[in-house]
């Protein structure tokens, strides 16, 4: 019985993943977002090359792996987070989740199929990354380096954090609109926290008013508390690992990302089981 159940789960995951992935590939969303991310990367590239022409100096020995790649990753990661955040709530909202669970579908197979679909979507985008940056390298002579290949490989694990975070949000909500509002609100708060932390750190403590000093302490405490919760933190660690060129930081970034993704996927499965198909 256990072997049959395992076979059904594997078969179910394949069927659900193929269905969702086919729908995504026939839509225009991933292609539009990929193009937008490349346009943003090209904008930064133009400014970088302009700085080289004006000052006759290169800011980074390996710019493609940092300056121009990770902005694209941020845009695509957020898009995939939104997609994953509505993946469960949309099925529940439309009533298809209840129908699916009458068949050989269980919470584990359903959540994992949604995760696998988004990851396969990103792997397809990775192919576009290689094509785009190979072309950029040929046009600018900046070099398609090993550092860029390592950054692209690392991004697979970093994006996994964002996708699993979106699934976690989706498992908590019952409506698509609520899922999107939660994702936008959470990421808005996280960005505000990061920028606020950086702004307060840039101020001189001697000239800082007392209330700002207390606020800085409170923001620092909150910042440390969310450091292991926010997917932005894992992206930041990955960027630091690539920029520093530390193999240890690179490996730890992959390890932390895997642990983070597994924990959130397990939590999503548990919450879906507790809430049920009707939420």
* Per-residue pLDDT tens over the stretch 76-86: 999 999 999 88
Domain count, the chain: 1
Instruction: Give the max Cα distance, the chain.
Output: 71
- Nearest CA-CA partner of 178 in 93, 100, 114, 118: 93
Cβ–Cβ contacts within 10 Å for residue 241, how many? 22
Residue range(s) defining the domain that contains residue 99: 2-275
Band (pLDDT 50/70/90 cuts) for residue 2 is very low
Sequence-separated (6 or more) residues with CB below 8 Å from residue 25: 121, 124
User: CA-CA distance, 250 to 276, in Å (whole number)?
Assistant: 39
- What average pLDDT does the segment 234-253 reach? 86
| 3-class DSSP assignment, residue 112 | helix
The pLDDT, as a whole number, for residue 15 is: 86
CA angle (142, 144, 148) in 5-degree steps: 110
Task: Find the range with the poorest average confidence among 2-11, 33-42, 165-174, 258-267.
Answer: 2-11
Q: Is residue 4 scored above 50 in pLDDT?
A: no
């Amino acid at each position: 019985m256990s072997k049959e159940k395992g076979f059904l789960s594997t078969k179910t995951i394949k069927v659900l993943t193929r269905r969702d992935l086919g729908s995504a590939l026939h839509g225009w969303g991933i292609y539009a977002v990929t193009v937008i991310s490349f346009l943003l990367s090209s904008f930064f590239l133009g400014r970088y090359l302009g700085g080289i022409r004006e000052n006759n100096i290169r800011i980074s020995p390996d710019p493609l792996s940092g300056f121009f790649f990770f902005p694209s990753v941020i845009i695509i990661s957020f898009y995939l987070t939104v997609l994953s955040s509505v993946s469960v709530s949309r099925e529940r909202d439309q009533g298809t989740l209840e129908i699916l669970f009458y068949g050989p579908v269980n919470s584990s197979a359903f959540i994992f199929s949604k995760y696998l679909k988004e990851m396969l979507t990103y792997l397809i985008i990775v192919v576009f990354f290689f094509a785009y940056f190979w072309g950029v390298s040929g046009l600018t002579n900046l070099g398609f380096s090993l550092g860029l290949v390592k950054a692209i490989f690392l991004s697979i694990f970093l994006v996994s954090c964002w996708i699993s975070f979106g699934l976690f949000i989706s498992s908590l909500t019952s409506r698509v609109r609520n899922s999107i509002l939660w994702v936008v609100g959470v990421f808005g708060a996280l960005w505000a926290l990061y920028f606020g932390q950086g702004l307060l750190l840039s101020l001189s403590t001697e000239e800082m008013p007392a209330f700002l000093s207390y606020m800085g302490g409170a923001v620092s405490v909150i910042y440390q508390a969310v450091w292991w919760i926010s997917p932005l933190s894992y992206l930041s660690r990955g960027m630091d690992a690539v920029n520093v060129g530390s193999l240890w930081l690179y490996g730890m970034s992959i390890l932390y990302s895997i642990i983070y993704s597994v924990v959130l996927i397990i939590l999503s499965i548990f919450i879906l089981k507790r809430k049920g198909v009707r939420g």
